[in-house]
Amino acid sequence: MKKAIIIFGSTGNLMFKKLIPALDKLIHKGLVDDDFRIYAISRRDNTIDDYIEIAKEHVKDHIDWERFKSHLEYLIFDVKDTNDYKILKKNLIKDGYEDVSVYLAVPPKLFPIIAKGVSESKLIEKKDRNKRIVFEKPFGEDLESAKDINRELWKCFDENQIYRIDHYLGKEMIQNILVVRFANIIFEQSWNRNAIRSVTILSKESEGVLSRGDYYDKIGALKDMLQSHLLQMAALILMDKPKDFSSESIKDAKVKILKNLNFNKDKLILGQYKGYKDADNVEKDSDTETFVYAEVCVDQDEWKGVPIHFVTGKKLDEKRSEIIINFHEKNDLGEYFPKLKPQEDKLIIKVSPTEGVEFQFSVKEPGLSNNIKQASLDYCHNCKAMENTPEAYERLLIELLNDQRTLFTRWDEIETTWKLIEDLKVHKQTPNIYDGYEDILDILESKGVKINDL
Ligand code: BG6
């Protein structure tokens, strides 16, 4: 069956930064057929050649533009005009495209408008398993707006036609969490409060808001990162073993644990980087947070008393996303094996930019002394000897085109995470201004938060 993807928002940041490079790689790797077609939808009055020229200015990756163009159609479109959707549908039928994915790389306020057009024009009809519709994150701006959007979507589509993106789920090491946890008996057996003291879920960025001030200033780090990527990582780390590894069972297990998370309201610390208010399209008196430290406890017996720390922010010292599992320290070896400094075992799941798993553990110092020191086993998943690992969007797009749903979020996951953020939002304070990473560490310390993992 001939496949097509229709992308709304094709002159946006996401299209140029992620979707074009990912689609080009899929074409290059032969993972889509020669007749695969990309319909780039835009309200701008361009020709396909103008569009390619604009794309060339924005896309940083190396693209084979001639080859890409051979898969591309450019459509000028008014998203409020049902007629335009009907014309698109006619073209698809005429060209024999029956397997169609409609991708909304647009702000959430356009979701219901485009969904309505797609549905009213019968571009996608309920029960048609060869048609699907994809929504970028954030899915709504808060619980209420997410519910409104979802209500509208359910009028138009079946849940199994709706794909909600959280691109972290497409990252290699996020997928690897389940394998590390459940394919290794040493971890599976010790994955609970008896062995684990705390967990840190970290996503630091060195860049600021760049050109996304308009979007970011209304959203902030709590909604931009915590509601989606960080809580998804937490769910995969903390959830029970799913009944099986099917998409629905994994989602059931994630929702169960998400419902058992409680934010510790007193531990919320927010920050805003110095100079944020000068960024384009940011309010001059904005109190939007660009940094969040938050802590949850888990209302489930195996995790009782284990704090889960979340740390995320922009304009920090580096770009690094990691999940750090801190095990309880063992100190009962007596004087024969002295531990010269405190050290606990750690398992670090490195999400990006390095991908891998590091296990830090205790060994005897080499030589005649019996001192205990720390050693590490460091597995690098994306080192040069191996084939380049696929970028998250590459994987997400191929799953989408193959109608695989595991890496997309279900409505109840979104609803539960929004509820969590809603509860936490009530305790929002004016963010602390920080100038660099050292400042953040000082602010955290002054509020009694000291985490070695940072
Ligand atoms: C996006 C956020 O979802 O994730 C951005 O909107 C953030 O603000 C980005 O920069 C981080 O993703 P990654 O893959 O670069 O870690």
How is the chain split into domains, by residue range?
2-164, 169-446
Q: What is the distance in A from the centroid of ligand 1 to the CA of 153? A: 25
Nearest-CA neighbor of 352 among 318, 308, 377, 375?
A: 318
Q: What is the pLDDT of residue 194?
A: 96
Ligand 1 neighbours (beta carbon < 6 A): 137, 205, 224, 321, 352
Q: Which of 136, 175, 222, 225 to mutate to test the pocket of ligand 1 (most atoms within 8 A of CB)?
A: 225
**Residue of 28, 71, 167, 229 marked catalytic:** 229
Q: What is the pLDDT of residue 386?
A: 56
The CA-atom distances, in angstroms, between 341 and each of 326, 331, 365, 374, 423 are 16, 11, 13, 10, 40
H-helix or E-strand spanning residue 146: helix 143-156
Q: What is the distance in A from the centroid of ligand 1 to the CA of 332? A: 43
229 is catalytic: yes
Locus of tokens 């609803």: 415
Tell me the fold of 169-446: Dihydrodipicolinate Reductase; domain 2 (3.30.360)
- Tell the CATH superfamily of the 2-164 domain: NAD(P)-binding Rossmann-like Domain (3.40.50.720)
Check the CA dihedral 276-282-284-288 and report its sign.
Answer: negative
Which residue's C-alpha comes closest to atom 9 of ligand 1?
225
Q: Please answer whether residues 207 and 315 qualify as being in contact, where contact means their C-beta atoms are separated by less than 8 angstroms.
A: yes
This prediction has a pTM of: 0.94
Q: Which of 205, 215, 311 to mutate to test the pocket of ligand 1 (most atoms within 8 A of CB)?
A: 205
Q: What is the pLDDT of residue 387?
A: 60
- Reduced to 3 states, what is the DSSP secondary structure of residue 242? coil
d(CA 89, CA 87): 5
H-helix or E-strand spanning residue 360: strand 356-364
Q: What is the distance in A from the centroid of ligand 1 to the CA of 244? A: 30
pLDDT in tens, the chain (454 residues): 999 999 999 999 899 999 999 999 999 999 999 999 999 999 988 999 999 999 999 999 999 999 999 999 999 999 999 999 999 999 999 999 999 999 999 988 899 999 999 999 999 999 999 999 999 988 999 999 999 999 999 999 999 999 999 999 999 999 999 999 999 999 999 999 999 999 999 999 999 999 899 999 999 999 999 999 999 999 999 999 999 999 999 999 999 999 999 999 999 999 999 999 999 999 999 999 999 999 999 999 999 999 999 999 999 999 999 999 999 998 888 888 888 888 899 999 999 999 999 999 999 999 999 999 999 999 999 886 556 678 899 999 999 999 999 999 999 999 999 999 999 988 888 999 999 999 999 999 999 998 777 7
Q: What is the distance in A from the centroid of ligand 1 to the CA of 366? A: 43
Q: Which residues contact 343 (CB under 8 A, 6 or more apart)?
A: 329, 360, 362, 372, 373, 374
Q: Which of 17, 168, 169, 215 to mutate to test the pocket of ligand 1 (most atoms within 8 A of CB)?
A: 168
d(CA 105, CA 10): 7
Atom of ligand 1 nearest to the CA of 207: 10
